[in-house]
Structure 1
Amino acid sequence: MPQNEGAHLLGNSYCAFFSLYNIVSVILDDSECLKCPEDKWPDSRKEECLPKPIKFLSYEETLGSTLACISVLFCLLTLSVFCLFIIKRKTPIVKANNRDLSYLLLISLMFGFMCSLAFIGRPNQIMCMIRQVMFAVIFSLCVSTILAKTITVVMIFSATNPDSKLKKLVGLRIPIYIVPVCTMVQVILCIVWLTTDAPFAEYNMAAEIGIIVIECNEGSRVLFASVLGYMGLLASISLFVAFLARKLPDTFNETKFITFSMLVFASVWVTFIPAYLSTKGKQTVAVEIFAILSSSAGCLLCIFSPKCYSILLHPEMNSRQYITGRNARNRGK
């Protein structure tokens, strides 16, 4: 083979090899797989990364709107009971067991129902801090008011019993100081919580596949547990005192109603803990809202529905003559 023909053949082979190399390189470059960022999700053709949908418990969806409607309805119901008590403020049923504490309890229950609305909607830094603190302070106010009402019943009965050792404490007016002191302890816990490790909004990408869930992180779980534990302590003390005083000859069985309300309150929040820990995403928020609404409704119905029943359907029971005769029958027993 002549030397020129050999060089020409070698040059053609080199060009063919180089062209084949370029084609393979292009194919390899086109088929290279790129991983999408955490906040994006590949499309159905695996060609580009699309933003993941964002979810949170909103008013537009059925669950959020239903919980919001229930909250507003119970708030209006509590307001109607409050107006009824204001209108009938001079009657014996309303005056029994410190009507000022009854007013305060109804107001705190109204705020308790309304605070559940703060848990619905897109979370942000401010709302995550406000809603947890508002929930903790309002419920502490509510439970401490119930505790003050229970102690009031016990002290009123002790004042009529000459053999009671608690008679000396009647003049100290202890129930007046229970509400601000117990509530202030919770306020201090919340201040420590906010200044050390406050709740904040976070993007949870592990709750649901392909979805970003915006939720509130409690920050310090220890302080969050302390806030809930303090409310549980107040409820336990109220339940214990009301249970011990359940057989006192109270005209309207206030301690029995309080005992039932605290049993409902304790049952709701005991079942709340495992439910809260076992749910993810917006279902966690829904569980907390349900616990707020059900515990508040339990207190409202157990304590005030018997009184409203007597005021509206049996007005003869709301008279001094009826109370005097009933007290006489109780002493005869």
Structure 2
Amino acid sequence: HLDDRSARPGALAEAERIVTVAHAEAVERLRADHPALDPDLIGFHGQTVFHAPEKRLTVQIGDGPALAARLGVPVVHDFRAADVAAGGEGAPFVPAYHRALVKAARLPGDVVVVNIGGVANLTRIGADGSIAAGDTGPGNALLDDFVRERTGAAMDKGGALAASGTVDRSILARLMDDPWFDLAMPKSLDRGAFSEDPVKALSTEDGAATLAAFTAETIGKGVAVAGGADTIVISGGGAHNPTIVAMIGAVTGVPVLRASDLGWSGDFVEAQAFAYLAARSLAGLPLSFPETTGVPRPMPGGVVVRSG
């Protein structure tokens, strides 16, 4: 565990260098492929390696000054620290962007945008303009880890394994029997908060089905806790798993759209969000709110590094 958020013990220093170089190379490839693209600002979230808001500590590796120096473009990084230091959960941070997207799409009623990454999180944008947000539980993490262990594949591609298995209802009930799921929003989770151990005795297909159902059930519970929805929009890697998407529809009884159905770049919503948040940071606007992270007041954040 890290107690000093600036420390990079052991392999973390090298990991930070690798993360930074990978981001630099990604931007360089983008610029090479799109010569007309001349970015004014880069939002660099980095990789979360430790998140313990109860200790007012969150650590993302990624060297903002090194990235700015290499690319010659101002960089905003370290988005979450101010929120956590002020007593917020430090997550989720994408709701401000979700709200902008939903407003632009003119979706009627109460809309919930669910991002299914390693952890799943949601933003509920009420028809009255209210916002609620938080993590819902495991996204793809448990299923990915389980499938990797069993088959060597990185994920349950197309939800095929889960679709061919049978959900073990007693194990699912046991997984769901955690008071965290009933907590009001906002709330946040570490990727390692849950384990796939309960399904270890099941076949690969049944284990995948049960973990997919766990993701869907916890998202359904999260939607209910947040105040319900007229429409659910799914983004992130989980949007490519039709089994999970269908399960969410079945659990909630609400129409479910993929982000791509609205013309959003479903795989890049989070990346776009941090570009949007970088611009907000530069303008001194809040990135997080009491309703999204539990921070006491709307909170600006991010550290701006000039490239010169």
TM-score normalised by the chain length of structure 1: 0.28
Report the TM-score when normalising by structure 2.
0.30
Q: Which has the higher contact order (CA 8 A, sep 6+)?
A: 2
Greater helix share, structure number: 1
